[in-house]
Structures are given as C-alpha cells and as structure tokens.
A and B are shown apart, each in its own frame.
Chain A
C-alpha cells in the first residue's frame, strides 16, 4: 500500500510538471530537430523578439492587464453588496436569485457572446475595450458574488457595536467589515483577474481582432508554427497564475468552495 502510494505520487508530480518542460526548452532553442532530445543550437531569439517593439507582446500585455484589472475592479464593486445581501440577509426570493447568479456557470460563455454580439455592434461596443470588459464580466461576476457571499457569514452585531461606539460607516467598513471578508476579497480578486486573463474566444469575438490580448497573440503564434516564440509567450502568459498560487494558497486551505471558480478556466 505504501509502495502504491509512492508510485501514484511520483507519477502525479511528473505528469503535472512534464508539459512545462518542453515550454522552457523550446523558448531558448534555435534548432531542435527530430530526434535530438535537446536543441542542437540555443538562442535568445524568442525572448529578445518578444520584448522588441515589433512583436506587439508589450501592447498585448498592457491590453490584457487593463482588461483584467477593470473586470476585477468592476466585479468587486458590483459583487460586494450582492455577496453581502446573499450572505447576511434573509429575504423573499433568495433561492431564486441564487439560482439566477449560478446559471451563468453552466452555460458556455461562447453561446451568450454569440447572442449578444449583434447588439454590441449596434451600440458601438463591438471591437472596443469596453465591450470586451463587459463580456468578461459574464464568467467572472457569478463567481465573485459566490466567494464574497461565502465569507459574509459573520455576526452583524460586531458592526452594530462599532456604530454604537460612534464609528462612522467608513470606519465600520475599514475596521470591522474589511478584515472579516479580506481572505475572500483577495481570493475572489485573484480568481477574477485570472479568469479574465485567460479568456480567448469571447475576446476574439467581441474584440473583433482590434483588442489583441495575450491569448489572442499566443494563438496566432501557435498557428504560425514558430515553436520558440509560442513557448516563450506561453511562459509569460502563465506568470500571473504562478504569482496567484504563491499569494493565495495560504488563504485557500480548507475553503473548497473557493476553488470552484477554476472550473471555468
């Protein structure tokens, strides 16, 4: 039984890390023909091209970052009161509203984006940054609301006490509410950022080739068959994901509900 466990764990680690290996090697390779196991010539070409002006990678990073940050900010702004209402209040129709918030997680975003595209063209939102930000809210918002609702389960009496001691609404939020919901807020924001950062097809559709984010560029590289470039860009593309794990794994232990959002990735 011990042996079986060791075998499973070893296989698991190898197979998780294995696909990253060729990415790193390819990104530094120049010539790497079959059947050599390592490149015969190494080079910095892919990396220096990526950071040159002609590659559009820097502008793609900027687009992706602006979009993901805006989506995160908007979803916090909208999700904070909604999560609080679902977590702390009892009211008529709550179950129905919960269902309404959950349904976008089972409908493919592509179906929704196809339906809304015509309307976005009509109102000038197609091919714009704003249009892409709005359509990214569809997969992100339900998740943000659920995470914020799951951490909003503390005793409202704390806020009441602070108020009776003379705290103004801002102080109540800063000293009582924020510290209690902080883990959820952190995790939710990182998830929101990563979900938006990874979107491909809805950006392609609504952005119409005008809003070139990292995944769009990565797909172009992958289709062109330039392996070193594809590999280097892939590594840049996963950098926030690695940061994300470094920062959040400590908030996440034991909160299985919070991981749910990554089913959307």
Chain B
C-alpha cells in the first residue's frame, strides 16, 4: 500500500494529536462542562451558571485571587530582574565559567517540592537563618524571627520561586548571549556607545524575546502551581489552585462544579494576562 505524500505528515501527527485532543482538550472540555453543572455520569443534565455565581459571591475567592496574583507577579518580576543581572555578570568571565554554568543548571531539574523543603528548613522561625540570627545576637527566641514560612504575604513561596526561576531565566539568557556572540557589542562600541547604551539599545532588545517567553513560562507556572503554596503557604487564604483542589475533594459534592469553575477561571486569567503582557511588551519593544 502506498501512502500519498500529502497525507504523510498528518498520519505522523495522528497519534500525538489524538493524545492531546483526548486527554488535554477532553479534560479541559469536561472541566468547562462540569463548571456549568453538566455531568451526565452522575445524572446531572441541567446547565447553569450557579457555580460561577456562588464562587464570585464569596470573599475567599477574591483574597485568594489577590494572593495568587501577588505571589506569581512578584516571583516573575524579581526572578526576571535578578536573572538579567546574573546573566550579564556571568557571561564573559574567563575563569570557572563551566563550573558556574553547571551550578546554575544544577538547580533547574530540582523538583519544587525539594526546594520548598529547603526553604522551610532555612527560613522557618527555628530554621537555620534564625539560628544564625540568634548567634549574632539579633534575636533571643524563635518568635523574634520574622515569619517567612506559612506567612500572610507568601514570602516563603516567593523565595522558593525566585530561587529556582532565576536560574531558569539566567540559563536561557546565557544561551541566547552565547549564540549572539560579541560582534553586536563591538560594533556598538566602535560607534561610540557607552556601557549603558550598549546594554539598553543593543543587548536588551536582543535578549528580550528569550526573556519574555521565559518569564511567561514562570508566571504561568507560578500562578497555576499547587505544591509550593500547599507546603509554604497559609491555609487561609490559600492560592487559587490549592483552593480548587480543596473544593474538589470536599465531602459536599455540590462543591465540585465550583472546583471546575475555579479551574476554568484560573486558565482564563492566565490566558488573559499572557495576552495583555505580550501586547504590552510588543508595544514597548517597537517604541
């Protein structure tokens, strides 16, 4: 049997697309249907906006939303800034660059869960840093140490994300810089650009696409992630994904459509913010 060449790429993509459509699209579609209360498997056939209405009438939703926005935006912003600084500091050192890059890469595949445990051991009120503070006579008992784990401002969560994502974004910027080579800057230097001008008008625009996509990934992840807020966050208010999971495992089955509605809202908010961010930065890069 001979397969026509026009059909060939579609056949090659068929297994992948069927997995993505059945598992991913299917899961998302089912979440949307169930958020409207439609779930024939357990005998619910009516469609309503009840779950959304109930969710949006609750105070907890809004403070959780604020908390999640705060922790994801703060983590993304801080790690992006720090990563640009680190990449610039690291890029043309002569000695030990292999080692430094290795250390930077080392922490990329470390699971967030382990990072969170490390942050807990370091920053808890009886943690390693509190002990150092005691030795330095800065505090006299654990309660004197600022609360940074399970705290109301999500500092522990932000610390963990910044710890890991700064390395992630730095590695991406370093790879871009490596591919660019030194030529652009040499040209700018011969044309009389000073250090700041070379950074602002030559390097920054060149690394911007990589920085943008990396920071979008960081934001998306930190807005939708579950483990770190569960371990390092407060129980009330909790991050939106944690709240969604709690609704889902609630003994009251009526909370399930709300869990789905919350998942749909999380996805919508992420998509809207990415769209706004991309628009904004496109405008900024052109200007």
Residues of A within 8 A of B (CB): 4-5, 8-9, 12-13, 15-23, 26, 34-37, 77-79, 81-82, 84-86, 89, 91, 94, 97, 100-101, 103-119, 122, 134-135, 137-138, 141-142, 145, 194, 197-198, 200-201, 205, 215, 218-219, 222, 227, 230-231, 234, 237-238, 240-242, 244-245, 249, 252-256, 259-260, 262-265
Q: Which of B19-33 contact A (CB under 8 A)?
A: 19-21, 23-24, 26-32
Provide a sorted-by-A list of 14 A–B residue pairs whose CB atoms are within 8 angstroms.
A5-B93, A16-B106, A23-B118, A34-B130, A81-B16, A85-B10, A104-B20, A108-B266, A111-B28, A118-B39, A240-B109, A249-B101, A255-B175, A265-B112
Query: Is B220 part of the binding interface, using a Cβ–Cβ cutoff of 8 Å?
Result: yes
The distance in angstroms between the C-alpha atoms of A256 and B106, with both chains bound, is 15
What's the least CB distance linking B139 to chain A, in Å?
Answer: 9
0 or 1 for each of B101-121: is its CB under 8 Å from A? (1 = yes)? 111111111111111011111
Q: Is the CB of A111 within 8 A of B105?
A: no
A118 with B128: CB separation less than 8 A: no
Q: Are A19 and B122 in contact (CB under 8 A)?
A: yes
A18 to B159, CA, bound (A): 12
Residue ID in chain B nearest A9 by CB atoms:
B89
- B231 in contact (CB, < 8 A): yes
Q: Are A9 and B100 in contact (CB under 8 A)?
A: yes
Complex partner residue of B267 from A36, A107, A122, CB under 8 angstroms: A107
Q: B13 near A: Cβ within 8 Å?
A: yes
| Contact in complex: A245, B175 (CB < 8 Å) | no
Q: Which residues of A contact B231 (CB under 8 A)?
A: 219, 222
Q: Which of B52-60, B182-190, B197-205, B241-249 contacts A (4 or more CB under 8 A)?
A: B241-249
Instruction: Report yes or no: B118 in contact with A215, Cβ–Cβ below 8 A.
Output: no
Question: Cα distance A244–B110 when bound, in Å?
Answer: 10
Pairwise interchain contact A108-B270, C-beta atoms closer than 8 A: yes
Taking a contact as CB atoms under 8 Å apart, the answer to whether B126 and A256 are in contact is: no
Instruction: Give 5 nearest A-B pairs by CB, closest first.
Output: A19-B118, A108-B224, A115-B31, A263-B217, A256-B175
B23: chain A residues at CB < 8 Å are: 112, 116, 134-135, 137-138
Total inter-chain residue pairs, C-beta < 8 Å: 278
Residues 147-167 of B, flagged 1 when their CB comes within 8 A of A and 0 if not, give 000000000000000010001
Within the assembled complex, what's the spacing in Å between the Cα atoms of A219 and B117? 10
Q: Given contacts A20-B118, A118-B34, are A262 and B168 in contact (CB under 8 A)?
A: yes
Q: A254 touching B9 by the CB < 8 A rule?
A: no
For residue A112, which residue of chain B has the nearest CB? B27
Decide if B225 is an interface residue (CB 8 Å cutoff).
yes
Residue of A86, A100, A240 ringed by the most chain B CB atoms within 10 A: A100
Taking the closest CB of chain B, its distance from the CB of A93, in whole angstroms, is 8
* A5 and B30 contacting across the interface, CB-CB below 8 Å: no
Q: Do A82 and B263 touch across chains, with their CB atoms under 8 A apart?
A: no
Contact B121 A19 (CB under 8 A): yes
Contact B26 A241 (CB under 8 A): no
Q: Are A245 and B263 in contact (CB under 8 A)?
A: no
Q: How many residues of B contact A (CB 8 A)?
A: 99
- Contact partner, B213, options A4, A252, A260, Cβ 8 Å: A260
Our pick among A12, A36, A81, A265 for the contact of B111 (Cβ within 8 Å) is A265
Contact present for B130 and A110 (CB under 8 Å): no
Q: Is the pair B112, A97 in contact by a Cβ cutoff of 8 Å? A: no
Instruction: Report yes or no: A263 in contact with B221, Cβ–Cβ below 8 A.
Output: yes
Contacts A34-B131, A89-B9 known; A115 to B15 CB distance under 8 Å?
no
* Most chain B beta-carbon contacts within 10 A, residue among A26, A108, A109: A108
Complex CA gap A227/B12 in Å reads 49
Q: Is the CB of B106 within 8 A of A242?
A: yes
Q: A117 vs B244: C-alpha distance in the bound complex, in angstroms? A: 14
Minimum CB–CB distance for A45 against chain B, Å: 17
- B36: min CB distance to chain A, Å: 12
Asked whether A91 and B6 contact (CB < 8 A) given A23-B117, A114-B263, A141-B19, the answer is yes
Select from chain B the residue with minimum beta-carbon distance to A218.
Answer: B113
- Do B132 and A81 touch (CB < 8 A)? no
Closest Cβ–Cβ distance, residue B143 to chain A (whole Å): 11
CB of A106, distance to nearest CB on chain B (Å): 5
Q: CB < 8 Å: which of A109, A116, A135 contacts B30? A: A116
Partner of B34, one of A12, A104, A115, A241: A115
Contacts of A78 in B (CB 8 A): 15-16, 19
Q: Please indicate the chain B residues that have their CB under 8 angstroms from the CB of A219 in the complex.
A: 113, 227, 230-231
- Does B122 lie within 8 Å of A244, measured CB to CB? no
Nearest chain-A residue to B210 (Cβ)? A256
- Contact partner of A115 (CB less than 8 A), chosen from B28, B130, B171, is B28
CA distance A201 to B246 in the complex (A): 12
- In the complex, which residues of chain B have a beta carbon less than 8 angstroms from the beta carbon of A142? 20
In the bound assembly, the distance between CA atoms of A20 and B107 in angstroms comes to 10
Query: Are the C-beta atoms of A114 and B259 separated by less than 8 Å?
Result: yes
